[in-house]
Amino acid sequence: MNKAQSKLLWTHLSIAKVIQKTINIKHNTKLLDIDMAILIFIGSHNRIAITRIVKHKYFKQYGLSTIKRSVGRLISLNIVEQGEWKLDERKKLLSVNFDVVNMEDL
C-alpha cells in the first residue's frame, strides 16, 4: 500500500462511517460494522444469496448465524430486499434498496 492508496481507502472508510451513522439516526437503530460490510458487499454485486456472502474470504471469520442475523437486521430495516430466484425458489436473492440508502434522503 502506498500513500495515495491510503488516502483513497481513508476517504471510502469515512464515507461508509457517515452512511452508517446516518442510517442509525434515521432508523433509530445501531448498525454494526459487520452490517455495513454486508450492506456494501450486497450493494457491490447484482442480486446475491447468503451462501455467496458466507463463502467469501472477507467473511470467513464470521459464523453463518452472525451473517444471517446481520442480513435479517438489514431486511427488517428495509435497507436490503429479498427476492426469489426463478430457477430455484428456495434460494433468496438479496439486493440493496438504494432508495432507502440514498444519501440525499438521509
pLDDT digits (tens, 9 = 90+) for 35-59: 999 999 999 998 799 999 999 999 9
Across 1-106, where does the E strand assignment appear? 80-84, 92-96
pTM value? 0.86
- Is the pLDDT assigned to residue 89 strictly greater than 90? no
> What is the reported pLDDT for 104?
52
How far is the C-alpha of 70 from the C-alpha of 85, rounded, in Å? 21
* Percent of the chain scoring above 70 in pLDDT: 94
